[in-house]
Amino acid sequence: PESETTEELEDLFTVRPRAGVDWSPDATWQVAYRSTLTDPNETGAWLQQGSVSEPDTLLANETTSEGWLIQTSERIARETRVYFWSPDVFEGDVAIQFDFRPEQDSGLALLVAQAGGLQREDFIADHPPRTSGAMTTIISSNVRNYHWEFFRKAVDVRADLGTQVLVKNPWQRPLGMVTREPLEVGQWHRLLFVQEGDRIRCAIDGQWLLDVHDDPWVNAGPVFSHGRIGLRLMYQTRMRFRDLTVWSRFPVPLGTRESPHRVSD
């Protein structure tokens, strides 16, 4: 019906009140990785992919007492984008929290979670080295992952809205989209990504923005439960990060979840 379509469109493209975050790690969660991102020895352990050759090198990659500052080139080109991959691989359900501060009113930043090869192998240690910062790594190059675009002010995105997109790859399957107020530049924001089995929730500044289920029965792979996390910045992005914590827990055994059809890899 037309009314349902209108409701769906308004939910996607207008700012609406959202539920407050009601999650905190209980005894089943363990801290798997923690860093203030103020120690260059820790940030230096993250693997940089892309923006390594002239004229597309990073304008900033600095670790200071305020956090980790990354700035990509102002030039719009295939290689003016960069990934930073976590030094560790995580197993099971995952929750990721960090603070970020956009320092210019342009660009695009996304979080990658559960990034691994098609057979659960480590796509960094077990695949040939990847050097391109292009999007192809996560959407078409045999790397399974979820990616959440949490800051979107690129040239092809409306700047007056704070749109959020969550996608399952390499199938490029949309899991969710929502609109919030544009994120303030020069202000710290807290991001929280929580995956519990097939349920994925995404929050910024204490407000749930996305709450979706990954259906493993639609020819887009199983629910992911193994891999690295990554940060990806497009051209014209200057952003600082601090206080990163990753929690993990082993998934609930199959057959004990709400739905008998939910499966995990």
pLDDT of residue 13: 80
Find the helix or strand (DSSP H, E) in which 245 lies: strand 238-249
pLDDT at residue 263 greater than cutoff 60: no
pLDDT at residue 90 greater than cutoff 80: yes
Closest CA to 104 of 129, 69, 135: 69
Tokens 């675009």, located at residue: 149
Cα dihedral 133, 139, 141, 144, rounded to 10, equals 110
This prediction has a pTM of 0.92
pLDDT in tens, 201-236: 999 999 999 999 999 999 999 999 999 999 999 999
Q: What is the DSSP string of 126-180?
A: SS------STHHHHSSSEEEEEEEEEEESTTS-TTSEEEEEEEETTTEEEEEEEE
Query: In this structure, what DSSP letter does residue 45 have?
Result: T
pLDDT of residue 214: 97
Q: Are 168 and 221 in contact (CB under 8 A)?
A: yes
Q: What is the DSSP string of 54-120?
A: TTS--SEEEEETTEEEEE--SS-STTS-EEEE-SS-EESEEEEEEEEEE-SS-EEEEEEEEEEETTS
pLDDT in tens, 25-57: 999 999 999 999 999 999 999 999 999 999 999
Tokens 């080139």, located at residue: 73
pLDDT of residue 239: 98
Average pLDDT over residues 160-171: 94
pLDDT of residue 156: 80
Tokens 């990934």, located at residue: 83
Q: Which residues of 216-231 are buried (b: 16+ CB within 10 A; e: fewer)?
A: beeebbebbbbbbbbb
Cβ atoms < 10 Å from Cβ of 183: 20
Q: What is the DSSP string of 166-232?
A: EEEETTTEEEEEEEEPPPPTTS-EEEEEEEETTEEEEEETTEEEEEEE--TTSSS--B--EEEEEEE
Taking the CA atoms of 94, 58, 139 and 177 in sequence, report the sign of the dihedral they define. Answer: positive
Categorize the per-residue pLDDT at 251 as very low, low, confident or very high, splitting at 50, 70 and 90. Answer: low
Q: Are 201 and 213 in contact (CB under 8 A)?
A: no
